[in-house]
Amino acid sequence: MNPSRQPTGSGPRLLPVTLLVSGLLWLFTTTGGRQIFVKEVLGGAYDSQAEHFLRGDVDVDVDAIGHEAMIVNGKVRMYFGPFPALVRIPLNLVYPAGHGKWSRISGFCAGLIALFAFAGLMRMALRSSPLSSRARNWLGNACVVGFAFGSPLLFLLGNLSIYDEAIIWGLGLSFGAVFFAFCSRQAEGGGLTRALLGFSLCAGGALLSRVTFGAPFILITPLLALGLPRTNRVANLTALVLPLSAALIFYVWLNYARFGSLTGANYYDYYINTVHAEFAHKFGVFSPRRIPYSFADYFGVRFPSLEREPPFLAADRHFYDYPSLYSNDFSEVYLPLPWCSGWLVFGAIMGITCLVRRDGADAFERGAATALFVQFLCILSFFALAQRYAADLYPFLIFCVIIFLRSGGMALVRSRHVIIGLVCLAIIVNSLATVSWLIGPDQNVPSETRAAWERLLERHSVEK
């Protein structure tokens, strides 16, 4: 363990605010607590996949997967990560009446994991900062609230269709893996074994949720293994490697069973959406040529148009026509990251400066940041642009923020008010734009949810 990373003071008190934010996110996810068991768009596909797993096959019912089906030798398959389906198995056994309507409970649980893992990372990082106890509390709580309402977490919880549920599980479990990775570098004895086990379980779950979230932790695992003490080494290596290896083996087997490929990269050969399938064959699903154009879209300064009626911002798709780069001639990035999470972008830039500075980070931190940066580049090279895909950018950004909070020194002391101000701006802009997107252009929001939002906004407009 790097001695410079030892805690130097008490951590901020984040639990009360984290619990309060959790309650607000529950109300947001369930539309005021009245919509819990809701059939989200294609959400029943995970229930169908779970049933087929129990029968010993990897098929899915065609009426459950609908227009996202893959037809392999006459069999219907789906390409989404299996973790939400595995979650469904005990849920449907306990409460069969919830079949097909678990998306909001499942997504909220994933969101809680993301929120508490982020709060844990904040507390751990700020303990090593030069800030006063009062400043640590203010900055830590501001970042927790900012993560909840000034990041894609809010959008993912507002639309838990089949597309977003696996993403939010991948996001939450990847933060959990980062949290346990840092814990393992400060723990000893049984605490170290438990931290390594937590890392491996979270990393394996992230891999089975969405491969882009889990793959970086396969690269980070050897870095953790190299730093293990000689005492109790076998038990620690077993805790570190076994769960993630089991998840990786299951992932490879599932790809082969579904599509006859170890990686599953050929799933577009069987996609019933011929537009995307033909584009993928011609130009590829991933291409480094897209990176600068995607970066310009995700990190631009484009702002939603203003309107007089609530929610006051009009989020929408925008024209983005590069026929040889993207399969659509539009982008669904309705709010670029400088507006959605400007506080994170600022903190990440400062964290990157720490990573490249000689004494700003150690070998493990630089190696882990590099692994997460691969995920960052991967999503920038993808052949479609959407707000939900921006979630793949956040593990790297938040990792860099953690490095800054731990190593920023006087730069952190001078910039803490800037971060808090950017958090406030992000909360306002992201919340209003997300509500605008959910009640407008988003075609995957259930009609009853959209109607509830519209009634709320109309009531607010009348009262005003």
Q: Which two tokens stand for residue 460?
A: 């607010």
pLDDT at 457: 87
Give the model confidence (pLDDT) of 300-357 as tens digits.
999 999 999 999 999 999 999 999 999 999 999 999 999 999 999 999 999 999 999 9
Give the model confidence (pLDDT) of 113-150 as tens digits.
999 999 999 999 999 888 999 999 999 999 999 999 99
Q: Rounded to whole angstroms, how far apart are CA atoms 131 and 30?
A: 38
Give the model confidence (pLDDT) of 29-79 as tens digits.
999 999 999 999 999 999 999 999 999 999 999 999 999 999 999 999 999
Give the model confidence (pLDDT) of 204-235 as tens digits.
999 999 999 999 999 999 999 999 998 999 99
pLDDT at 192: 97
Give the model confidence (pLDDT) of 16-33 as tens digits.
999 999 999 999 999 999
Which residues are CB-contacts of 234 (< 8 A; sequence separation ≥ 6)? none
Residue 462's pLDDT band (boundaries 50, 70, 90)? low
Question: Where are the chain's structural domains?
Answer: 37-463
pTM, two decimal places: 0.95
Residue 79's closest CA among 243, 276, 216, 218?
276
pLDDT at 2: 44
Backbone angles phi, psi at 399, to 5 degrees: -60, -45
Q: Read out DSSP for 281-348?
A: HHH-SB-GGGHHHHHHHHT----PEE-SSTT-EE---EE---TTT-SSSEEB--S-HHHHSHHHHHHH
The mean pLDDT value of the chain amounts to 94
Residue 155, amino acid:
F
pLDDT at 464: 55
Reduce the secondary structure of 339-385 to three states and give it as a string: HHCHHHHHHHHHHHHHHHCCCCCCHHHHHHHHHHHHHHHHHHCECCC
